[in-house]
Structure 1
Amino acid sequence: MRDFHFPGRSSVRATEAMAATSHPLSTLAAIDMLRAGGNAMDAAICAAAVQAVVEPQSTGIGGDCFVLYAPRGEGEVIAFNGSGRAPADATLEWYRESGIAEIPVTGAHSVTVPGAIDAWCQLLRDHGRKGMDAVLAPAIRYAEQGYVVHDRVAHDWLESVETLAADEHSSRIFLKDGGALKAGDIHRQPELAATLRTIAAKGRAGFYEGEVAEDLVSRLRALGGLHTLEDFSATNGDYVASVSTSYGGHEIHQMPPNNQGLTALIMLNILSGFDLRSLDPQGAARLHLEIEAGRLAYRDRDTYLGDQDRVHVPVRELLSATYAERLRAGISSDRAMTNLPPVRLPDSDTVYISIVDSDRNCVSFINSTYHSFGSGVVGPKSGVILQNRGNSFRLIEGHPNAIAPGKRPMHTIMPGMAMKNGRAVMPFGVMGGAYQPFGHVHLLTNLIDYGKDPQQALDAPRVFYRDGAIEAERSVSKDAVEGLRRLGHAVRPADEPLGGGQVVQIDWEKGTLTGASDPRKDGCAIGY
């Protein structure tokens, strides 16, 4: 139980259903959908659509999504890959001949074809109860009538002014008198509302064909992009097999590559050989072991992960006990490793949604445009801001994540699902771009090894290893920081809070749900 003398909040507890998102309007929309007879999938897509309007810096219909779904909380976990692909003309040779050494962070070349709307349509058709018109109605209302900008959204918006100002249409839609909107301002997106109405009426074809697709492709090609209408119409998400490992009596499921979820599983396998429970959960010794396990797992992420449709990823070998033991042997409890190469760990923005309904259908749902406001490219008529997932590709021949026609990039956004004794016990996720595998592991070890409740587990101080040093949130104790330095780590203050997250936990014996939402974002958990 938390100490009520200090600021904070308790976990949310209920019996029938629970939704947790990073925005209050999104959580409320999910709850309204559930109480109107929708199921967890209807509610998740409804919430994601609302966030595509009210958290435009983090997500949108011009982005991608991944989903883990446990129908009635039992049996096989269903995984859906809703990530988009590079244009058919995006060859490595073209970039070389054009003098492009790496994919830029913004602009047309950073854009992969969005996969989210195709995913929403397939998932709603296969697992939902409601039509697209009902699911998109709240998002349409907020886009047309306006919504109030929340505090964390305003914070992120301010940091993106330069990106938005570089594009005349982004500037028109997302800047006010040349500056970012502030907390308490009302923002409207009438062009996006019209696009959402088209999708509500026509489904998938309303986005990937016709006027919306023509608007997006025309804008991309005007900026030098290689995208075609055929690239958009060919978009098709896939049901795939999740990857998993056992940790602390739980089976932890993640998306397979091209997703980075495997990274978290490698970390868990390494840490399973240490007695974390004997260590102070906020102390340097525990943080050191997580950091070292993360450095090894992220090295493997950058070495091996790519689109499994195009390259071989040795998943079985990477998840084997023998491999984990070999990695673990390289970790010293009293000294930081000095022999690991640097890895690419950019910041990005994402929204994550965790929902369990009265039938115990469990949805772990993540949707993103990658960096804040994605590529900065907006369809002038459609109001759709496009993702910059192409920036993840490498322009290195032979690299598993090298760009190629129709290939998916290595993807950072990760939904998680914890199972126990054949039942889902927790759809969970931690946002924050490259931080996400580390965040998943920190959350899980807080819950499993240290017995924290969901809100305590999310609230706990965080660190992350990036660019040769540990970034420590302000809440990390001075003793822990000094302890890490004594172990040979460079430590610096984190510029921003590390990630965000949501959890819904199921107690099957009591018949209760416990939800939590990260204080690093604007959101909340609500149950009934």
Structure 2
Amino acid sequence: MNFLHHPFASKRNTVMSTRGMVATSQPLAAQAGLDILKKGGNAVDAAIATAATLTVVEPTSNGIGSDAFALVWMKDELYGLNASGPSPKSISKEALTERGLDKVPMHGVIPVTVPGAPSAWVALSERFGKLPLTEVLAPAISYAEEGYPISPTLGHNWKNAYKQYKEKLTTEEFTSWFETFSIDGRLPEIGEVWKSPAHAGTLRLIAETKGAAFYKGELADKIDAFMKKYNGFLSKEDLMSYEPEWVDPISVHYKGYDVWEIPPNGQGIVAQMALNIYQHGEANWQDANSIHQQIEAMKLAYTDGKAFVTERTHMPVDTETLLSKEYGEKRFAEITDTALDPIPFDIPKGGTIYLAAADEEGNMVSYIQSNYMGFGSGIVIPNTGISLQNRGYDFSLDENHPNFLKPGKRTYHTIIPGFLTKDNQAVGPFGVMGGYMQPQGQFQVITHTIDAHLNPQAALDMPRWQWMGEKRIEVEPHFPNYLVQELAQKGHDIHITHDSGLFGRGQVIWRDQKTGVLYGGTESRTDGQIAAW
């Protein structure tokens, strides 16, 4: 692949290096990862350092109480880590019904599932890392103790969340959130220095005990006590019994390349299903019929994903069927010249952060970590800086749905790291943050890379579309107007949207298989940066 092919003007130039690279949405976090590489760490050490630092410098998207997934290319082999936590053992539909609830709430103690991110740092470090965890987490601890100035996109997202929480989260259990994410009881401003000493103390405990303090020790005790006080379900027993899971990544072949994802409960399979469908169609991003086929392929894949994807052992259809040649051909045959209202396939009976890291030895990491819907549940454990995710919100209380809430079950998960290989050799890690935009963003980055031969930065800068449900499509303002008009004629309910935050935040690092040179792209829709060596 010629990574320098550049058929249109990109907003930034692709960054190139040979010894190492870290790409993520916050410059300070990218630099933290690069510093670890320069101290003798490998790509895994750099990824952990970057991820931990992001809990400090981008708390609008993730925290110590997040979940995480990782794809690791190490010594010519790809490994997968699922560090998403299950629902508490004491939760159930009946327990929620007794409280007068007909769905899982978005905020508060109820939607909190077991946080997996600290376990991911420990598991990755112990299996692949070169440096001690105390050294790898040192940059994050320093930023939490000493503070950092709030950047523009971060400040914008912080302000939006603060205003919403001030209006909606008015009961006592949310007090610690406001105490943690404020300065002197008010909203922090862009450019102000924010710090969180309690956050630093928690990171130090995690590093010194290799995660034991969080899952078995004093931090687990604090989480347990808080949940008991406010009638939550998560307990110390849930934390103590949790371990992240090493998994075999799944792949789909697309025009000479293999696109890899973590298997369900993550939604990465949706991007793969869409590629599997679309590869039977046209491939021209400048042509309305090609874009129409892309949208229809994504609609069909997403409809099936929402209908079938949950924890793998609870799925009514196996991943092999959903990624099969027969599935792709049958679904593509359903695409017509006009926009469809998709229905699930008739199966055979029977605020998130993403980072990519690479080192000079050829090791590469695709890593994703997230609360959910920005700051997550709105719950912060007092005097710890632990902001908890709200992943349980996606559980269904419909007993006939695959993602039905059960005790100790992992829910359908939006965060998905991706990885690209060719001829069994690494091309590199990629990912696009943004809830249900993630498979759609991945799909567009991969098609722009492989079909249009765009370099990483150009592929990220391309104007994006997003399917919102039914026939509604939202596009960015710089999406070509002639395509907007022609797509509307095909029956799409198409809208131009000026909020760039709705279209995802991506990072890409490709390695040239002949020269070993790294090529990086970072998201122009956020404060992203590539730190290279």
TM over 0.5: yes
Give the length in aligned residue pairs: 515
The Cα shift of 1:92 comes to 2.1
Residue aligning to 1:487: 490
Q: How does 1:159-238 map to 2 (within 5 A)?
A: 159-165=160-166, 166=169, 167-176=174-183, 179-238=186-245
Task: After superposing the two structures, state which structure 1 stretch, 6-15 or 17-26, moved more.
Answer: 6-15
User: Does residue 398 in structure 1 map to residue 400 in structure 2?
Assistant: yes
Letter in 2 for 1:85: P
Letter in 2 for 1:171: F
User: Does residue 478 in structure 1 map to residue 486 in structure 2?
Assistant: no
The Cα shift of 1:66 comes to 0.3
1:313 and 1:43 map into 2 onto residues whose CA distance is 37
Asked if the contact 1:287–1:463 (Cα under 8 Å) also holds between the matched residues in 2, the reply is no
2:451 and 2:6 map into 1 onto residues whose CA distance is 20
Letter in 1 for 2:25: S
The Cα shift of 1:7 comes to 7.5
Residue aligning to 2:13: 10
2:49 to 32, 46, 50: 46
1:508 and 1:443 map into 2 onto residues whose CA distance is 19
Distance 1:222 1:248, change over 3 A: same
> With structure 2 as the length reference, what TM-score do the two structures score?
0.94
**Secondary structure, counterpart of 2:312 in structure 1:** coil
Residue aligning to 1:124: 125
Task: After superposing the two structures, state which structure 1 stretch, 45-54 or 207-216, moved more.
Answer: 207-216
Residue aligning to 2:292: 288
**Secondary structure, counterpart of 2:81 in structure 1:** strand
User: Does residue 337 in structure 1 map to residue 340 in structure 2?
Assistant: yes
Task: After superposing the two structures, state which structure 1 stretch, 90-99 or 129-138, moved more.
Answer: 90-99
User: Does residue 298 in structure 1 map to residue 298 in structure 2?
Assistant: no
User: Does residue 144 in structure 1 map to residue 145 in structure 2?
Assistant: yes
**Secondary structure, counterpart of 1:159 in structure 2:** helix
Residue aligning to 1:416: 418
Distance 1:354 1:339, change over 3 A: closer
Residue aligning to 2:253: 246
Distance 1:3 1:398, change over 3 A: closer
1:397-454 deviations in Å (ceiling 9; x for gaps)? 1311111111101101010111111111111111111111111110000000001110
2:63 to 52, 60, 85: 60
The Cα shift of 1:463 comes to 0.6
User: Does residue 266 in structure 1 map to residue 269 in structure 2?
Assistant: no
2:519 to 514, 520, 528: 514
1:288-313 deviations in Å (ceiling 9; x for gaps)? 11111111001111111111144454
Asked if the contact 2:10–2:457 (Cα under 8 Å) also holds between the matched residues in 1, the reply is no
> With structure 1 as the length reference, what TM-score do the two structures score?
0.94
The Cα shift of 1:282 comes to 4.1
**Secondary structure, counterpart of 2:238 in structure 1:** helix
Residue aligning to 1:354: 356
The Cα shift of 1:286 comes to 2.7
1:356-395 deviations in Å (ceiling 9; x for gaps)? 1011111100011111111000001212110010111111
Asked if the contact 1:164–1:170 (Cα under 8 Å) also holds between the matched residues in 2, the reply is no
The Cα shift of 1:50 comes to 0.5
1:5 and 1:177 map into 2 onto residues whose CA distance is 48
2:291 and 2:314 map into 1 onto residues whose CA distance is 36
Letter in 1 for 2:188: L
The Cα shift of 1:67 comes to 0.4
Q: CA RMSD in A?
A: 1.7
The Cα shift of 1:112 comes to 0.6
Residue aligning to 1:275: 282
2:164 and 2:380 map into 1 onto residues whose CA distance is 12
Letter in 2 for 1:323: Y
Distance 1:195 1:495, change over 3 A: same
1:161 and 1:380 map into 2 onto residues whose CA distance is 18
1:131-164 deviations in Å (ceiling 9; x for gaps)? 1100110000000000111111111111101454
The Cα shift of 1:473 comes to 1.0
1:479 and 1:438 map into 2 onto residues whose CA distance is 21
Letter in 1 for 2:482: D
Residue aligning to 1:385: 387
1:300-345 deviations in Å (ceiling 9; x for gaps)? 111111111444542111111111111001111x21113548xxxx
2:105 and 2:478 map into 1 onto residues whose CA distance is 34
Letter in 1 for 2:15: V
The Cα shift of 1:93 comes to 2.0
The Cα shift of 1:4 comes to 12
Letter in 1 for 2:299: R
Gaps (5+ residues) in structure 1?
342-348
Letter in 2 for 1:196: L
Asked if the contact 1:215–1:381 (Cα under 8 Å) also holds between the matched residues in 2, the reply is no
1:210 and 1:508 map into 2 onto residues whose CA distance is 46
Letter in 1 for 2:177: S
Residue aligning to 2:347: none
User: Does residue 316 in structure 1 map to residue 317 in structure 2?
Assistant: no
Identical columns (%): 38
The Cα shift of 1:516 comes to 0.9
The Cα shift of 1:524 comes to 1.0
The Cα shift of 1:199 comes to 1.1
The Cα shift of 1:217 comes to 2.1
Residue aligning to 1:112: 113
2:104 and 2:287 map into 1 onto residues whose CA distance is 40
Asked if the contact 1:259–1:414 (Cα under 8 Å) also holds between the matched residues in 2, the reply is yes
2:6 and 2:30 map into 1 onto residues whose CA distance is 26
Asked if the contact 1:163–1:376 (Cα under 8 Å) also holds between the matched residues in 2, the reply is no
User: Does residue 499 in structure 1 map to residue 504 in structure 2?
Assistant: yes
2:450 and 2:5 map into 1 onto residues whose CA distance is 17
Letter in 2 for 1:256: P
The Cα shift of 1:227 comes to 1.5
